[in-house]
Amino acid sequence: MSDQGNPIELSGAGKEDRKFDTKLIHFGGEVDAATGASSVPIYQASTFHHHDIYNPPSYDYSRSGNPTRQALEDYIAVLEGGHRGLAFSSGMAAISTAFMLFSAGDHIIVTEDVYGGTYRLLTGILNRFGIEATFVDMTKIDEVKAALKPNTKAVYLETPSNPTLKITDIAQVTEWAHAHDLLSILDNTFMTPYYQRPIEQGVDIVLHSATKFLGGHSDVLAGLAVTRTETLGRKLKYMQNGLGTVLGVQDSWLLMRGMKTLGARMAHSEKSAAKLAKWLSERSDIKAVFYPGLASHPGREIHEKQSSGYGAVVSFDVGSAERAKRVLSSVKLPLVAVSLGAVESILSYPAMMSHASMPKEVRHERGITDGLLRFSVGLEDIGDLLADLEQALERQ
């Protein structure tokens, strides 16, 4: 029933002339229309009273719609410049719900660098329901084109990709997709709408693990989706309600709390990430550095065409598994963990963490070597982070 709109006044929505930083604060839910409260009320209710049995209320049951979740959904739609936003219990809930738009017999072209959970969903779950995927190097348009089949229904992009930050040309792939009546779907977790708004470049559905930069504090698991059109919004809403993959109201509130500082956090972390990438690339004991902001990064020009920044994730190869493990055991500041995009720096080891289930040969082919570390730069002082990493790299 939340199709009816939100009782919370949307003062920010539709004010297109406002800059992104202003939209982050004045997104519509910043002042509660009923009380003037300075944040969106948490409507901790599963169901809503029918005052008039002949005129059902705009919200009737929280799986179908809840004002707190709705405020978040409108917020992300404003930020991505899309028609409709939807909030889910995790990034994977958003992604799996989006894939439910497809049916048995459908085929999807997917970037080979896709997030591990999405790979598992496609190859271990959706394949059993007759939804077929072909994985291609999406940085090469010819590979994308060659994967087209009569039953292809969509292309699925991720740029920059994880963990080697490969760049896909969003406009090139989506233009080709639209010419073939394919849906284009993009996982925008790494860039966030602060740096990259794919809907403005023709993408149909943008997905997020809001667990990462949008939430920003390693304290909430959430997923978001934004559709370019009203029709797609209605279809995805139908899936969300039918599958029940919704985000709870406490987490919806917490996510909005985190998103308000997205701009300040991204700007600070990116500045530090650029310094880290430069520092690493000047060291003779580092085999490779992956960061779209480096002049040498493949696809940098394409990235600059479609994004306004380089993000806060830097991957680098320390040369061997032994050295990588020594660094992981010696750092004192970053959290050694999976995940990324938080106020605290997070250092992860793809070979043993996010990409552990990938066969070694495939992993190496994708550049995910045994010495590769991924550094998600947080808000600590960059001098302290570099000093800490230096002592870890110098351990014998």
Ligand X SMILES: *Cc1c(COP(=O)(O)O)cnc(C)c1O
Binding site for ligand X (CB under 6 A): 90-92, 115, 117, 162, 187, 189, 209, 211-212, 221, 223
Minimum gap (Å) between residue 340 Cβ and ligand X: 6
**Which residues are marked as active site?**
63, 115, 187, 212
Minimum gap (Å) between residue 209 Cβ and ligand X: 3
Q: What whole-number distance in Å separates Cα of residue 24 and Cα of residue 190?
A: 18
Strands (E), 203-323: 205-209, 223-227, 288-290, 313-317
Minimum gap (Å) between residue 228 Cβ and ligand X: 19
Q: What whole-number distance in Å separates Cα of residue 203 and Cα of residue 160?
A: 15
Kindly give the interhelix angle for 67-80 and 249-259, rounded to the nearest 10 degrees: 30
Nearer to ligand X, 91 or 311 (CB): 91
Nearer to ligand X, 115 or 290 (CB): 115
Question: How many C-beta neighbours within 10 Å does residue 280 have?
Answer: 25
Tell me the C-alpha to C-alpha distance, in Å, between residue 74 and each of 13, 94, 304, 339.
8, 16, 28, 26
Nearer to ligand X, 8 or 155 (CB): 155
Nearer to ligand X, 211 or 369 (CB): 211
Region of 319 please: left (phi>0), alpha (psi -120 to 50) or beta. Answer: left
The pair phi, psi for residue 209, each rounded to 5°, is -90, 100
Dihedral sign computed on CA atoms, order 339, 340, 342, 348? positive
The identity of residue 214, as a single letter, is L
Question: Which residue of the chain is nearest ligand X when measured via CB?
Answer: 91
Minimum gap (Å) between residue 252 Cβ and ligand X: 14
Minimum gap (Å) between residue 78 Cβ and ligand X: 21
Nearer to ligand X, 189 or 306 (CB): 189
Minimum gap (Å) between residue 157 Cβ and ligand X: 11
The identity of residue 381, as a single letter, is D
Q: Name the nearest CA neighbour of 43 among 322, 252, 262.
A: 252
Q: What whole-number distance in Å separates Cα of residue 256 and Cα of residue 40?
A: 9
Q: What whole-number distance in Å separates Cα of residue 377 and Cα of residue 90?
A: 22
Q: What whole-number distance in Å separates Cα of residue 78 and Cα of residue 268?
A: 23
Nearer to ligand X, 10 or 247 (CB): 247
The identity of residue 25, as a single letter, is I
